[in-house]
Amino acid sequence: MPSTEPTALIIDDDPSHLKIYSWVVNRAGFQTATLLVRSSSFELPDFHDLAVVVMDYQYNSAITALQIFHAIRAKSPNLPIFLLSEYSDLPEELIKCATAFIKKSEPQTLVERLIELRETGKVESRFIHPVMGKTVRR
């Protein structure tokens, strides 16, 4: 019997981070799929079963978060994307693309946002960027 849990795609360049965030995302009631960003490439999976993407901002590769955002939006323009970052100097284009910003050091916030998405089918589109401390309207 197929699982009724929604699926979250977790994107990072560190295999240990993929494991940690998989555990966190599972706590919110999601199945997980992972994507390891390599030094110069990434391959997005089929998106038909995905409910959300949880991705890191900084990669130790030639790949940038913006490249991944654009690839995701090309396949699924309305798929929620949660951006994990401790950086305060994020490009405006990322601020416009992301559904939510979550500090990597606050996994409980990630769980709360994912539960909100799972239970309501959406995440509040007006939110406080936790790093920059300013209200962002989408």
CATH classification of the domain holding 12: 3.40.50.2300
CB 54 within 8 A of CB 9: yes
Asked if pLDDT for residue 111 goes beyond 70, the answer is yes
Across the range 17-41, mean pLDDT stands at 93
pLDDT score of 125 more than 60:
no
Q: Is residue 2 part of a domain?
A: no
Query: How far apart are alpha carbons 8 and 19 in whole angstroms?
Result: 13
- Where do we find the tokens 């940038």? 64
Q: How confident is the model at residue 3 (pLDDT cuts 50, 70, 90)?
A: low
Confidence of residue 128 (pLDDT cuts 50, 70, 90): very low
115 within some domain = yes
Q: Are 124 and 137 in contact (CB under 8 A)?
A: no
Identify whether 1 is part of a domain. no
Task: Out of 28-32, 66-70, 121-125, give the one with best mean pLDDT.
Answer: 28-32
Structural domain including 104 reads: 7-137
Please count the structural domains in the chain. 1
- Residue pLDDT, tens place only, 44-71: 888 778 999 999 988 888 888 889 999 9
Is 33 inside a domain boundary?
A: yes
